[in-house]
Amino acid sequence: MKKRQQEESPRKDAGKRVPRVRPDPVETILDSIADGVFTVDRDWRVTFFNRAAERITGVAKEEAIDQPCFDVFRASICQTSCALKRTLETGKEVIDLAVDILDADGRRVPISVSTAALRGPEGKIIGGVETFRDLSAVEELRKELEDKYSFEDIISKNHAILKIFDILPDIAESESTVLIQGPSGSGKELFARAIHHLGPRGKGPYVVVSCGAIPDTLLESELFGYVRGAFTHATRDKPGRFALAEGGTLFLDEIGDVSPAVQVKLLRVLEEKEYEPLGSTATRKADVRIVAASNRDLRQMVDAGQFREDLYYRLNVVKIELPPLRQRREDIPLLVAHFIHSFNLKMGKSISGVSSEVMDLFMKHDFPGNVRELENALEHGCVVCRGTQIEREHLPREMAGQAEERGGAPGAPPFEKAEAQVIIDALRRHGGHRGRAAAELGIHTTTLWRKMKRLGITTW
């Protein structure tokens, strides 16, 4: 009787007790979770909107109910590839798709969404449900990590690259010619662009010439241009790359492939700051900064008589040497996270990362194609992966095949072995000095000590 009295409340106007209205337990549960949840009917109108959805979107429940979902939930995929629409058309769930929404104040909010169909008693689809999680904190941490180990579009925690980061602003501010040496795919053009954008010529043109891709017979006219009548079919004047780069920067990629004849003309430009277009007798001034790059050792080419020594010294005023990726393996996890995030945005996917087997494969792979090879492998993986994690079978066939030949398939050593090798290599480079090794790896000395203890590293 006492329990019955607690469940009833008096109505003064009726003079009798009526049952108290109890809250819907499902709504109570959904209102208590941290993820946003909303449901729609077959006409795409919102039928439920929980408290977390209000908090993340900034839209009140009363304003959302019975409104078209694309007017309430303003996501980057609403008009192009709506995840909920895909689910209602195919009946297949979408899980943890990374997208952006605009909240009620017009601010961008990164979220991950998951969708499912709502079915009636007979199994017929009567609507859909979408859950979403605010990734703002995760995004801030990712940006913080990238900011710590990035410069312009370059990402690295390798000690040699970080030293270049330190002096790159000074290099950019100068007008000196810069020579960037490193293997193909190591990011030479990224450094050239950074030098241009950071310097006083940053608002001027940035012109790229791939010397190795242009036949020697055409390279001279490409660089210096020509005047009408210089040769057959030269019916008009054509400016060369030096003219196009006036007031800016000219990036001469693969300078080691230039012929001796063109080397002589480049030397004159660097010494006298002037040149003559093909077929012209008039000298023109060159207000251009030169940044050159080569995947070959120009000093060795000079010694072999394949490159002019005087041109080498004119180019080699400031020299930047980029290590291959196999010598900066500590960058691989950073680069993997960066590229996957980028491809997720481009492809509308929700890949969280790579499996431990794939990461172990990457950490042991020699990467003859360097960062470009890693980027291409991850792009291939993102294209063919239908889940949320890139596995070995999602990698290009040649890379997965090499892994099998090396025994990198099932039964391969875990990722910890590769991590231990990176630490051992850093300790060796610094003669066992933990402080300098930790600084190179971008971690605190205490963290390094804990990792060494966990991985059983006692000698190196």
**Is 427 a domain residue?**
yes
CATH number where 433 lies: 1.10.10
In a domain, 378, yes or no: yes
Structure-block tokens of residue 82: 């709506």
Between CA 43 and CA 268 the distance in angstroms is 72
**Together in a domain, 125 and 210:** no
Q: Which two tokens stand for residue 12?
A: 């003064």
Q: Tell whether 242 and 306 lie within a shared domain.
A: yes
In a domain, 7, yes or no: no
Whether 56 and 80 map to the same domain: the answer is yes
| Rounded Cα–Cα distance for residues 187 and 328 (Å) | 13
Based on the domain organization, do 312 and 218 belong to the same domain? yes
Nearest CA among 219, 242, 221 for reference residue 230: 221
d(CA 394, CA 401): 12
Q: Torsion angle, CA of 414/186/183/164, rounded to 10 degrees?
A: -110
The answer to the question of residue 379 being in a domain is yes
Map tokens 């004159």 to a residue. 268
| Cα R_g (the chain), whole angstroms | 31
295 with 172, same domain? yes
Judge whether 160 lies within some domain: yes
Q: Which two tokens stand for residue 17?
A: 């007790």
Question: What is the residue range of 264's domain?
Answer: 154-323
User: Six-digit token pair at 22?
Assistant: 């109890």
The answer on 165 and 204 residing in a single domain is: yes
**pTM of the prediction?**
0.62
End-to-end CA distance of the chain: 79
**Domain-embedded: residue 354:** yes
Per-residue pLDDT in tens (0 to 9) along the chain, 460 residues: 444 444 444 445 555 555 555 667 778 888 888 899 999 999 999 999 999 999 999 999 999 999 999 888 888 677 667 888 888 888 888 887 878 888 888 888 888 889 999 988 888 889 999 999 998 887 776 666 566 666 777 888 888 899 999 999 999 999 999 999 999 999 999 999 999 999 999 999 999 999 988 887 789 889 998 887 666 676 788 889 999 999 999 999 999 999 998 999 999 999 999 988 888 778 889 999 999 999 999 999 999 999 999 999 999 999 999 999 999 999 999 899 889 988 988 888 878 889 888 998 999 898 999 999 999 999 999 999 987 789 999 999 888 766 544 444 344 345 666 777 788 888 888 877 888 888 888 788 888 888 887 777 866 5
Q: Establish if 3 belongs to a structural domain.
A: no
- Do 379 and 343 touch, CB atoms closer than 8 A? yes
CB distance 311 to 267 below 8 Å: yes
E strands of 175-214, at which residues? 178-181, 206-210
Do 249 and 163 lie in a common domain? yes
